[in-house]
């Protein structure tokens, strides 16, 4: 699934997880994995690839599904208007 | 870089909880490294806080209220020119602009320059005329009607639905949730600012403000966009953040181009939360009170205005401002001895100190 992330690419991301949207002035914070996902999305990664990277990078608890977590996160980004 | 050694008169020193832009304009001029001149504060009350701000002004003078007539204002500004050598006048209040425009020729004759819109542009940008301006099709506004009687409210309530927005001709806006509130707001603004009162359809969304400068030939000479992040109970921005949004700049450039705007302005723009459409909700014919943000963010609009007023070229390319630069207003108790108050009370002026070597 290709993600239209033009708006997302404008976001200013700080290492602390503080995010600034320069076109609206809104700010929000994300946790470390959220920050990674935002960075990967800015680089053009697809959701499946992001889920795989999360699985590689973080120790998953039994029952955790990175693909579902990514979809939840994408839904939040969509609600905020950062991706289409 | 050459230093600019001129004396600038800035009105609007009443930096209260509903602040005039004068203090922000004066601070912006001081902020410019190239500015080596003097700033003369002009206000209407001996207790205007800007007169007491340490390091802000080199002198000051009380002006007659607009109700005293244009001749009184002209005579006073001639006096200020003669006594304090004001080279450029920057009026910052909507309510004094027409009076200043009427005497611009007189001011220039004695050597006081301005950089202001034409009376025609000013009228076309007024709240009451905004619906007509929108008829051109190039500027989109929410459905609005200027009204001269409260009897018009019920019909507009049916047409626009509630809530709707009631606006004073110069200042103020109230979101009225029913007919009684709308009529009460109408009477309040009619009594305070006169007629007409503007009734506007309420569109839920996010408001953005753009401080800008028109060169008088239809071009945008500079613009800084901002979103208020905290407002007072009067709806005044108490904190804000500079943003960069091409759509806001485009709309502002359209307004400036369409009106051939000359001088400072603020365009208030609403983004419809549902449709994402942008609407111009107000054009203010002056810098906003938050104008110091423009200097802090790297594009000092009051200083650019000064260059334009003096007929000097603007820097090319213009510096880019930094989105993410914030302003956070603060209430401070300024300490002053009686001398400033005494001077203003007895002579209506604060004499500038002589510059070294002069």
Is B244 within 8 Å of B299 (Cβ atoms)?
no
- Mean pLDDT score, B266-293: 96
- Mean pLDDT score, B180-201: 95
In angstroms, the separation between the Cα of residue A25 and the nearest Cα of chain B is 6
pLDDT computed for residue A79 by the predictor: 86
* pLDDT band, very low/low/confident/very high, at A4 (cuts 50, 70, 90): low
Higher pLDDT, B76 or B235: B76
A-chain residues near B206 (CB < 8 A): 24
Do A25 and B241 count as a contact with CB atoms less than 8 A apart? yes
Do B243 and A25 count as a contact with CB atoms less than 8 A apart? yes
Is A24 within 8 Å of A33 (Cβ atoms)?
no
pLDDT score of B221 more than 60:
yes
Do B245 and A24 count as a contact with CB atoms less than 8 A apart? yes
- Percent of all residues in chain B with a pLDDT value above 90, rounded to a whole number: 87
Do B227 and A12 count as a contact with CB atoms less than 8 A apart? no
pLDDT score of B333 more than 90:
yes
pLDDT score of B67 more than 90:
no
**Could you report how far apart the first and last alpha carbons of chain A are, in Å?**
11
In angstroms, the separation between the Cα of residue B243 and the nearest Cα of chain A is 5
What angle (nearest 5°) sits at the alpha carbon of residue B122, between those of residues B118 and B124?
115
pLDDT score of A44 more than 50:
yes
pLDDT score of B358 more than 70:
no
Q: Are strands B278-284 and B262-272 parallel, antiparallel or unpaired?
A: antiparallel
For residue B240, the chain A residue with the least C-alpha distance is: A25
Q: Quote the CA–CA distance of B124 and B221 in Å, as a whole number.
A: 20
- Percent of all residues in chain B with a pLDDT value above 70, rounded to a whole number: 98
* pLDDT band, very low/low/confident/very high, at B356 (cuts 50, 70, 90): very low
Closest CA to B242 of B328, B304, B182, B303: B328
* pLDDT band, very low/low/confident/very high, at A2 (cuts 50, 70, 90): low
Do B243 and A22 count as a contact with CB atoms less than 8 A apart? yes
Closest CA to B27 of B3, B1, B49: B49
- Percent of all residues in chain A with a pLDDT value above 70, rounded to a whole number: 94
- For the entire predicted model, the pTM comes to 0.91
Is B56 within 8 Å of B21 (Cβ atoms)?
no
Query: For residue B314, with 0-12 CB atoms within 10 Å meaning exposed, 13-18 middle and 19 or more buried, which class applies?
Result: middle
pLDDT computed for residue A9 by the predictor: 85
pLDDT score of B1 more than 60:
no
The rounded radius of gyration (Å) of the Cα atoms in chain A is 13
pLDDT computed for residue B357 by the predictor: 43
- Mean pLDDT score, B103-121: 97
A-chain residues near B243 (CB < 8 A): 22-25
For residue B208, the chain A residue with the least C-alpha distance is: A24
In angstroms, the separation between the Cα of residue B139 and the nearest Cα of chain A is 21
């Amino acid at each position: 699934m290709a993600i239209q992330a033009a708006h997302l690419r404008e976001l200013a991301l700080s290492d602390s997880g503080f995010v600034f949207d320069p076109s609206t002035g809104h700010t929000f914070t994300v946790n470390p994995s959220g920050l990674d996902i935002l960075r990967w999305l800015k680089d053009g990664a697809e959701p499946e690839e992001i889920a795989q990277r999360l699985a590689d990078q973080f120790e998953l608890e039994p029952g955790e599904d990175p693909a579902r977590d990514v979809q939840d996160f994408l839904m939040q980004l969509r609600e905020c208007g950062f991706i289409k | 870089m050459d230093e600019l050694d001129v004396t600038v008169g800035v009105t609007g020193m009443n930096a209260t909880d509903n602040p005039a832009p004068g203090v922000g304009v004066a601070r912006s001029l001081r902020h410019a490294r190239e500015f080596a001149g003097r700033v003369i504060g002009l206000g209407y009350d001996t207790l205007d806080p800007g007169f007491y701000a340490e390091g802000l002004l080199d002198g000051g003078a009380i002006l007659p209220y607009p109700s005293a007539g244009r001749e009184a204002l002209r005579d006073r500004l001639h006096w200020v020119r003669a006594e304090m050598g004001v080279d450029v006048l920057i009026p910052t209040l909507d309510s004094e602009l027409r009076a200043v425009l009427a005497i611009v020729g007189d001011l220039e004759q004695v050597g006081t320059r301005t950089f202001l819109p034409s009376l025609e542009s000013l009228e076309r940008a007024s709240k009451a005329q905004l619906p007509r301006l929108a008829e051109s099709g190039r500027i989109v506004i929410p459905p609005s009607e200027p009204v001269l009687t409260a009897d018009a409210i019920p019909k507009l309530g049916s047409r626009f639905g509630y809530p709707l927005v009631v606006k004073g001709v110069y200042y103020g806006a109230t979101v009225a949730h029913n007919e009684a509130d709308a009529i009460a707001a109408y009477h309040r603004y009619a009594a305070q600012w006169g007629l007409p009162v503007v009734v506007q359809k309420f569109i839920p969304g996010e408001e953005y403000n753009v401080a800008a400068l028109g060169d008088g030939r239809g071009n945008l000479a500079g613009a800084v966009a901002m979103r208020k992040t905290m407002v007072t109970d009067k709806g005044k921005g108490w904190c804000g953040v500079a943003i960069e949004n091409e759509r806001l700049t485009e709309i502002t450039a359209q307004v400036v181009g369409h009106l051939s705007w000359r001088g400072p302005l603020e365009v208030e723009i609403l983004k419809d939360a549902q449709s994402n459409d942008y609407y111009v909700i107000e054009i203010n014919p002056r810098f906003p009170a938050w104008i110091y943000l423009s200097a802090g963010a790297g594009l000092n609009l009051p200083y650019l205005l000064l260059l334009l007023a003096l007929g000097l070229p603007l820097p090319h390319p213009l510096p880019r401002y930094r989105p993410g630069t914030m302003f956070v207003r603060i209430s401070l108790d300024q300490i002053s001895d009686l001398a400033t108050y005494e001077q203003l009370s007895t002579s209506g002026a604060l004499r500038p100190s002589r510059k070294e070597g002069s």
